[in-house]
Amino acid sequence: MSTPAPNPAQASRAAARRRGRYGAPALLLAPFMVLFTACTLVPIGYAVHLSLYTEHRSGLGFGGSETVFTGLGNYTRALGDAAFRAGFWNTAQYCLLYIPLMIGLSLLTALLLDSALARAKRFFQLALFLPHAVPGIIAALVWVYLYTPGISPVIDALGGAGAQVDVLGHPLSAVVNIAVWEWTGYNMVIFYAALQAIPREVLEAAVVDGAGPLRTALSVKIPLIRASITMVGLFTVIGSLQLFTEPMILHDVAPGVVSTWTPNMYAYSAAFERNDYGLAAASSVLLALAAAVLSFAVTRASRGRSRKEDAA
């Protein structure tokens, strides 16, 4: 039995529907893809290209420079530099201290604002979010003023009370304090919005079953907003690896913050203080790879935990 040939008019309409089905998404995604290519893919490609070359100078620096292909030489130099490795160690300590503290405070304040006992919620939301509205450089300068002995009213007041506080002598805690102050309110808003999306009947059922406020928060609210917590954790890990502004401002006043205190500062120092663009590009590519690996690990860990809970 032979299959009847399709009507040409029907075939034309089917082809038009297929073009419309794929054409509209492509048209809407086109501006994003153009910007993504111009602002992300092209710079990454150029950085990889730069990382494969180095500048050789002759005649004690007076004979001009020559660009020479060096392969993975810049990567070997970066990984072999103790200052570059120390930057990753400082960033790891920063992540271990900053991420749990900031996410814990953000989650706690969101749960407190979401509780039935909270009053003046709008005021506290605005008050907690305001520090994030302050640009990072301005915030760092304000904290440098508050950290510096002799000009800080807080340090002077503590000194008058007999407590000698040397904040600038502990750069890790000083940087973590600035970051927590700046980002806690921002992530609190994300958690609070997720809490508001929980169906009220679910919370009422928990109360009817005898769950108190603490049990409801730990066993109902937090599991239901785990996707938001994972998203905040992922973005925080990526942002922590790009740490630059706060330690760069503290570099002028805190003796413990050297010019290569983080991998980002190492790349900046290589590019703009030593004019070694190949080394700066190689260290930037290595930092991007570390961010990609950590992002993948966080995503996989959260997905694995969700699957275990779904199976249970």
What string of H, E and C letters represents the secondary structure of 177-218?
Answer: HHHHHHHHHHHHHHHHHHHHCCCHHHHHHHHHCCCCHHHHHH
pLDDT value, residue 284: 92
| CA distances from residue 146 to 64, 143, 149, 174 in whole angstroms, order as listed | 47, 5, 8, 11
Please enumerate in sequence order all residues whose Cβ is within 8 A of that of 20, keeping only pairs 6 or more positions apart, or say none. Answer: none
Q: Compute the average pLDDT of residues 142-149.
A: 86
Query: By the 8 A CB rule, do 99 and 149 touch?
Result: no
pLDDT value, residue 145: 87
Instruction: Check pLDDT > 80 for residue 208.
Output: yes
Q: Compute the average pLDDT of residues 214-239.
A: 89
pTM of the full predicted structure?
0.81
Q: Which residues of 122-146 are buried (b: 16+ CB within 10 A; e: fewer)?
A: eebbeebeebbeeebeebbeebbeb
pLDDT value, residue 97: 94
Element (H or E) spanning 294, and its range? helix 277-311
Please enumerate in sequence order all residues whose Cβ is within 8 A of that of 264, keeping only pairs 6 or more positions apart, or say none. Answer: 242, 243, 244, 287
- pLDDT band, residue 186 (cuts 50/70/90): very high
Q: Compute the average pLDDT of residues 104-111.
A: 93
- pLDDT band, residue 116 (cuts 50/70/90): low
pLDDT value, residue 51: 92
Instruction: Check pLDDT > 80 for residue 146.
Output: yes
What is the bridge-based pairing of β-strands 53-57 and 65-69?
A: antiparallel
pLDDT value, residue 35: 93
Of 41-55, 150-164, 186-200, 245-259, the one with minimum mean pLDDT is: 150-164
pLDDT value, residue 93: 94
pLDDT value, residue 3: 55
pLDDT value, residue 304: 66
Amino acid in position 10: Q
Instruction: Check pLDDT > 80 for residue 6.
Output: no
Instruction: Check pLDDT > 80 for residue 200.
Output: yes
pLDDT value, residue 310: 61
| CA distances from residue 222 to 111, 122, 124 in whole angstroms, order as listed | 9, 22, 21
Q: Cα 66 vs. chain centroid, distance in angstroms? A: 37
For the record, the structure tokens of 32 come out as 């994003």
Q: Compute the average pLDDT of residues 125-152.
A: 84
Instruction: Check pLDDT > 60 for residue 152.
Output: yes
The per-residue pLDDT of the chain, averaged, comes to 85
Instruction: Check pLDDT > 70 for residue 263.
Output: yes
The candidate with the shortest Cα–Cα distance to 270, out of 58, 9, 50, is 50
| CA distances from residue 172 to 52, 79, 98, 140 in whole angstroms, order as listed | 34, 23, 10, 14
Instruction: Check pLDDT > 70 for residue 79.
Output: yes
Which position has the higher pLDDT, 64 or 50?
A: 50
Of 12-26, 186-200, 282-296, the one with minimum mean pLDDT is: 12-26
Distance CA 243, CA 91 (A): 8
Instruction: Check pLDDT > 70 for residue 142.
Output: yes
Which position has the higher pLDDT, 200 or 282?
A: 282
pLDDT value, residue 65: 73
In whole angstroms, how large is the CA radius of gyration of the chain?
Answer: 27
